[in-house]
């Protein structure tokens, strides 16, 4: 990184602070900052970077020098570089994998909350960038504390921050295949997943701060992952690692099974493996109704799910669902399926009836 800075900046005779940073001459830099503080306001035409950007690129810079530069020209914390990345100094800091908590606090102290919502077309948000670079949990906590809405930002491919950390996703895939993972690193990764998911859940309409949820917010991690549309592999792993999470409703009475079925794309209505895992973790959810009176089997049927694509799994997990009635029509599942007037639904109706012919006598 030092070589990169030197190569880009030595042609600028008036950029002496940059030279001192590139040479890591901290003693001279302490003095020069006050004597040449006007240089802090200048912007490199090639990258659109300020001196603060370059400071953020070198992890070895002492905390006190860094803090002095920020306080002498705090506006630099909000200066975006040029395309394609449009990096703020904090982006550069995370990219350099600097783990100085003090530097992050100084930057955030002088940034506006909306600065944290800046996104890059190719790199996503600050949280995408920090998460991808595997910064410490405490730094992610500070970013989210400064502006919780950062967890909702998406990459231009509509990917969440949880899609960004490829090493962690690889470990999740290993876990699902029964392959041994690095326990320490996985726990570090998983703590970040829980942090982002719970922060997202607090921003959803299904979070009620007046309830007892706050004291057990980690139990709503699966709800948060669903709200974020997190990778299915992470939702699957969450259910395996913490099956209890599948048994907890949100403030609207929706269990993770309700949400998982509601989230299935209309053109591909079947139960993915991670939803089956949720179903197996808490079969009783099949009979649970949310505050609108909806139970999962009727939600699934109205979405167009057929017998072979998932209704069979729901019924076999909890056969009592055959006797439940739809809150809107009062119909049994086999009658509701028949009323939907599609060939596939007629097959579903037939299979539901075959599962319990005694319903004809009811």
On the question of pLDDT at 180 being above 80, the answer is: yes
Instruction: Give the Cα separation of 351 and 356 in Å (integer).
Output: 9
Mean pLDDT throughout 131-138? 90
Percent residues over pLDDT 70 in the chain: 91
CA atoms within 13 A on the CB side of 349: 16
Instruction: Give the Cα separation of 116 and 80 in Å (integer).
Output: 11
pLDDT in tens, 44-79: 888 889 999 999 999 999 999 999 999 999 999 999
Label residue 3 by pLDDT band (50, 70, 90).
Answer: very low
pTM: 0.88
Which structure tokens are listed for 271? 């139960």
- Which residue in the block uniquely carries the two structure tokens 């370059």? 54
Which structure tokens are listed for 295? 């139970």
Question: What is the pLDDT, as a whole number, of residue 7?
Answer: 36
Q: Phi and psi at residue 8, in whole multiples of 5°?
A: -80, -30
| Domains contained in the chain, CATH given | 1-111 (1.25.40), 143-203+217-242 (no CATH), 249-362 (1.25.40)
DSSP alpha helix (H) spans, the chain: 2-9, 16-22, 26-35, 51-56, 63-72, 89-95, 101-110, 126-132, 137-146, 166-176, 183-202, 221-228, 232-241, 256-262, 273-281, 296-303, 312-317, 333-339, 343-355
pLDDT in tens, 292-331: 999 999 999 988 898 999 999 999 999 999 999 999 999 9
Comparing C-alpha atoms, which of 48, 54, 51, 90 is closest to residue 73? Answer: 51
Instruction: Among 191-200, 240-249, 259-268, name the one with the lowest average pLDDT.
Output: 259-268
pLDDT in tens, 189-224: 999 999 999 999 999 999 988 776 666 899 999 999
Comparing C-alpha atoms, which of 98, 109, 91 is closest to residue 136? Answer: 98
């Amino acid at each position: 990184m030092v070589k990169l800075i030197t190569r880009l900046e030595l042609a600028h005779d008036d950029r002496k602070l940059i030279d001192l940073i590139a040479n890591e001459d901290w003693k001279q830099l302490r003095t020069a900052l006050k004597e040449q503080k006007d240089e802090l306001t200048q912007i490199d035409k090639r990258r659109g970077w300020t001196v603060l950007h370059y400071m953020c690129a070198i992890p070895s810079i002492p905390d006190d020098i860094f803090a002095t530069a920020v306080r002498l020209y705090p506006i630099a914390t909000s200066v975006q570089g040029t395309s394609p990345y449009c990096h703020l100094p904090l982006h550069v800091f995370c990219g350099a994998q600097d783990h100085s908590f003090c530097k992050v606090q100084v930057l955030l102290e002088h940034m506006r909350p909306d600065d944290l919502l800046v996104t890059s077309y190719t790199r996503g948000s600050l949280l995408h960038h920090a998460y991808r670079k595997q910064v410490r949990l405490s730094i992610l906590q500070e970013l989210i504390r400064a502006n919780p809405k950062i967890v909702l930002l998406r990459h231009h491919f509509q990917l969440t921050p949880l899609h960004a950390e490829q090493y962690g996703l690889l470990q999740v895939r290993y876990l699902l295949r029964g392959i041994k993972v690095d326990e320490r690193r996985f726990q570090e990764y998983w703590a970040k997943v829980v942090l982002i998911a719970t922060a997202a859940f607090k921003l959803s309409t299904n979070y009620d701060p007046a309830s007892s949820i706050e004291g057990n917010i980690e139990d709503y991690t699966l709800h948060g992952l669903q709200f974020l549309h997190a990778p299915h592999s992470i939702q699957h792993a969450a259910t395996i690692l913490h099956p209890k999470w599948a048994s907890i409703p949100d403030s609207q009475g929706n269990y993770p099974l309700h949400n998982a079925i509601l989230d299935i794309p209309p053109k591909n209505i079947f139960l993915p493996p991670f939803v089956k895992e949720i179903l197996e973790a808490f079969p009783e959810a099949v009979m649970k109704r949310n505050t609108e009176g909806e139970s999962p089997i009727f939600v699934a049927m109205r979405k167009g799910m057929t017998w072979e694509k998932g209704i069979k799994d729901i019924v076999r997990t909890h056969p009592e669902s055959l006797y439940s009635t739809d809150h809107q029509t009062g119909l049994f599942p086999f009658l509701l399926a028949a009323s939907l007037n599609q060939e596939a639904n007629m097959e579903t109706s037939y299979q539901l009836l075959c599962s319990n012919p005694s319903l004809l006598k009811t």
